[in-house]
Amino acid sequence: MNNENIQAPFFVINPKTFLIGNELLDLARYANCLAKQYHVTLLFTAPHPELGNIVRECPNLIVTAQHMDSILPGDSMGHISAHSLVYVGVQAVVLNHADHPMTLTAIAKAIERAKEVGLLTIVCADSVPEAQAIAMLGPNVILAEPTELIGHNQKSDRLYVTSTIEKIKKVNPDILVEQGAGIRSENDVTEFLELGADGVGVTSGIVKANKPKEMMEKMIQAVASFQEKRK
């Protein structure tokens, strides 16, 4: 697997642990239909124990783990290995999320492991220098999101969005840039894509919406429209 597997513009649905069990599976199934209907690249994250279930039922989603450790198979216990993820059909993994910050060494090794087994990597960055540092490690995607905005209504400002994109591409133009903070509507999705983001990721904007499925669909439609126009 390589960058060809993920096509910009892409959309990431990241329910974190707001939804668990049947509620999560239900949202995933709906996303699975939308992926097919709108021909949009959709990544869908889930807690580790539930990944296999979603893979089985949602062939149109790039099912994504919310964290991975850099361990190799062997005498280690309680950590998440790339091999287990691949075995259950996971295709991508988020690393270094603000809720699970990793040491620099662990990020570097986890990206290495992921490449060995063909997992896509989405590595979270807070500041611009951190984003550039991560770019040096060669992940597939960098999710640029100012930590202090996560979970809040405020969007990343336009300067943050454009400068993270520019600075990351300058280090390595092959890395895709996802923007995340504070997306609350389909208009926000369009705005970020027009500013140059390769992808957009949403948590609260969907799970805390009055009608999560409807909001998710509108956002995905926005991605599809942007995709259409760009052709």
The answer to whether 214 is a known catalytic residue is no
Give the gyration radius of the chain's Cα atoms: 16
* Tokens encoding 114: 């992921």
Which stretch in 30-38, 102-110, 210-218, 223-231 sits in contact with a copy of itself by CB under 8 A?
A: 102-110
Nearer to a copy of itself, 17 or 153 (CB): 17
Site residues for a copy of itself, window 164-203 (CB under 8 A)?
Answer: 171, 203
Please enumerate in sequence order all residues whose Cβ is within 8 A of that of 154, keeping only pairs 6 or more positions apart, or say none: 181, 182
* Tokens encoding 215: 């909001």
State the CB neighbour count (10 A cutoff) for residue 31: 26
User: Which entry of 97, 186, 191, 217 is annotated as an active-site residue?
Assistant: 97
Short-list 198, 87, 58, CA closest to 45: 58
The answer to whether 145 is a known catalytic residue is yes
Closest CB 72 distance from a copy of itself, rounded Å: 8
Nearer to a copy of itself, 149 or 224 (CB): 149
Sign of torsion over alpha carbons 175, 41, 30, 193: positive
Q: Choose which of 2, 3, 5, 21 interacts with a copy of itself (CB under 8 A).
A: 21
Give the integer Cα–Cα distance in Å for 172 and 170: 6
Catalytic residues, by residue number, are 97, 145
Site for a copy of itself, rule CB under 8 A: 14, 16-18, 20-22, 45, 47-53, 65-67, 71, 73-81, 83-85, 87-88, 90, 94, 96-108, 126-127, 129-130, 132-138, 147, 151, 171, 203
